[in-house]
């Protein structure tokens, strides 16, 4: 059984089912909100047992479904975002590595290929107003701009990260639409403010809001107020805690805006993370092994919650593997939008949540980032690092401590065949892996 509900009351299930049947297709066309954190540790939401208080994210999980085995498609930022917005493995279209962020001629600048159809484009065709607020990281050239890829509004950064405080104006280049914007507020709070404003302006019509926070990605900069609830932690971990608390506060403000405008139950909300927690920002992925950039669970498994009042029973815990690829298909199905022009890899999760006997969304999942790769089939996972192979049974060994490759060579061969079949459908990377030089100093501080 992959689904359990807390508390498991028959009444709650019956009411949810009745509401699902009673609603007409027109009534079931929800607003869509995707809230994406950046480099958040798997344990750093308190519902996962961490010490950082995240009451708003916890409440979002409690009011809908929490996925305990949700995966990103990449262990780094930009490729995973490309997959979220296309519903397709980024390896299908060459977006295997993070972008090179040096100034380049527009003719050769990399980005999300214009041949790919985005979620925003399809929702626009269904009558949705779309906005992305926060981090883009899918191309600097004008043809890759969010406003060229289906979004009606954009406020944020085309880059991977920015200072959180306004003092460093040379590095802190925000954009509203196509124009530079000078921002005086703490960055996470500014993104939250803009999201709340977008909800208020579009509350009477269907909308898609992609709130793409940069927190808690480096630089480690937190407000003193946000760190007051961070206990005895010191240094970078204390600043990280404050950044996560600001993120959690922002999630709460967005959810309250939906409630205050009377559209809480008319909105499908997803909260997740772009990849596993990073080692350079003091993230905590325990009990998972590894960090951002790697192929162990700590680099790939992410917190993920989904809420839709009256459609998803409160307190649901879903234990089968799912992917951030599935956000694309789930949103399209909920909106009744047209299908994409080419096959996708994600699946609509709603039928699996309503019918526990409907099977498993993903019997197999795959990852590739240069010489590093992984494949999961059922509970078995094969990790490749160059010429090295490791085999783990995630059901009995979720921490990936016991390599079983020498004991079970036939299973290794079977997983290698599955990976080879998947890889035969992928293309070569469109650019080389980023080899960043030493960044200019950026002071870590509180204000």
Q: Mean pLDDT check: name the lowest of 32-46, 102-116, 173-187, 205-219.
A: 102-116
CA torsion, ordered 180, 181, 182, 185, to nearest 10 deg: -140
Instruction: Provide the CB-side half-sphere exposure for 376 (13 A, CA).
Output: 26
- DSSP-assigned states of every residue in 197-209: HHHHHTTTS-EEE
End-to-end CA distance of the chain: 48
pLDDT digits (tens, 9 = 90+) for 108-143: 678 999 999 999 999 999 999 999 999 999 998 899
CB 120 within 8 A of CB 208: yes
Tell me which H or E stretch contains 180. Answer: strand 179-181
CB 185 within 8 A of CB 165: no
So what's the pLDDT on residue 126?
Answer: 95
Higher pLDDT, 192 or 232: 192
CB 237 within 8 A of CB 1: no
Catalytic entry in 77, 217, 230, 362: 77
Q: Token pair of 267, please?
A: 């909105």
Mean pLDDT of 242-257: 98
Task: Report domain extents, the chain.
Answer: 3-363, 371-423
**Mean pLDDT (the chain, rounded):** 90
Catalytic entry in 137, 230, 241, 362: 137
pLDDT digits (tens, 9 = 90+) for 137-183: 999 889 999 999 999 999 999 988 899 998 876 667 899 999 999 89
Residue 217 designated active-site: no
pLDDT at 78 over 90: yes
For 404, counting Cβ atoms within 10 Å of its Cβ (0-12 exposed, 13-18 middle, 19+ buried), the class is middle
| pLDDT band at residue 99 under the 50/70/90 scheme | confident
pLDDT digits (tens, 9 = 90+) for 336-376: 999 899 999 999 999 999 887 788 999 999 999 999 999 99
Class of domain 371-423: alpha beta
Class of domain 3-363: alpha beta
Q: Token pair of 85, please?
A: 């917005």
Q: Find the length of the chain.
A: 447
Higher pLDDT, 15 or 224: 224
So what's the pLDDT on residue 324?
Answer: 98
Residue 137 designated active-site: yes
- DSSP-assigned states of every residue in 65-92: EEEEEEE-S-SSHHHHHHHHHHSS-GGG
pLDDT at 81 over 60: yes
Mean pLDDT of 207-217: 98
So what's the pLDDT on residue 438?
Answer: 37
């Amino acid at each position: 059984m992959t689904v359990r509900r807390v508390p498991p009351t028959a009444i709650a299930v019956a009411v949810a089912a009745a509401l699902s049947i009673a609603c007409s297709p027109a009534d079931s066309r929800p607003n869509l909100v995707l809230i994406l954190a950046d480099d958040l540790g798997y344990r750093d939401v308190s519902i996962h047992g961490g010490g950082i208080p995240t009451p708003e994210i916890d409440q979002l999980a409690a009011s809908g479904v929490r996925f305990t085995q949700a995966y990103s498609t990449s262990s780094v930022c930009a490729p995973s975002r490309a997959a979220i917005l296309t519903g397709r493995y980024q390896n299908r279209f060459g977006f295997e590595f993070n972008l090179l962020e040096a100034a380049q001629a527009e003719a050769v600048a990399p980005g999300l290929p214009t041949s790919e159809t985005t979620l925003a484009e399809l929702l626009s065709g269904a009558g949705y107003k779309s906005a992305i607020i926060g981090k883009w990281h899918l191309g600097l050239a004008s043809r890759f701009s969010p406003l060229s890829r289906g979004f009606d509004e954009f406020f944020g950064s085309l880059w991977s990260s920015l200072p959180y405080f306004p003092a460093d104006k040379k590095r802190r280049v925000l954009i509203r639409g196509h124009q530079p914007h000078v921002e005086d507020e703490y960055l996470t709070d500014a993104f939250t403010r803009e999201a709340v404003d977008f909800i208020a302006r579009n509350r009477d019509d269907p909308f898609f809001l992609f709130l793409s926070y940069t927190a808690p990605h480096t630089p480690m900069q937190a407000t003193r107020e946000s760190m007051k609830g961070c206990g005895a932690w010191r240094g970078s971990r204390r600043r990280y805690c404050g950044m996560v608390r600001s993120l959690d506060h922002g999630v709460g403000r967005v959810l309250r805006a939906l409630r205050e405008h009377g559209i809480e139950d008319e909105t499908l909300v997803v909260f997740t993370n772009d990849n596993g927690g990073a080692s350079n920002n003091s993230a905590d992925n325990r009990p998972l092994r590894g960090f951002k950039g790697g192929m162990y669970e700590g680099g790939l498994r992410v917190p993920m919650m989904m809420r839709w009042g009256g459609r998803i029973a409160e307190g649901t815990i879903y234990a089968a593997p799912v992917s951030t690829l599935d956000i694309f298909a789930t949103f399209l199905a909920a909106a009744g939008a047209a299908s994409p022009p080419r096959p996708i890899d994600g699946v609509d999760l709603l039928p699996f949540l309503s019918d526990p006997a409907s099977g498993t969304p993903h019997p197999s999942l795959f990852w590739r980032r240069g010489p590093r790769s992984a494949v999961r089939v059922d509970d078995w996972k094969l990790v490749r690092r160059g010429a090295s192979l490791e085999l783990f049974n995630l059901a009995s060994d979720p921490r990936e401590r016991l390599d079983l490759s020498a004991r079970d060579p036939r299973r290794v061969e079977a997983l290698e065949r599955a990976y080879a079949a998947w890889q035969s459908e992928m293309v070569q990377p469109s650019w080389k892996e980023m080899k960043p030089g030493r960044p200019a100093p950026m002071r870590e501080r509180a204000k």
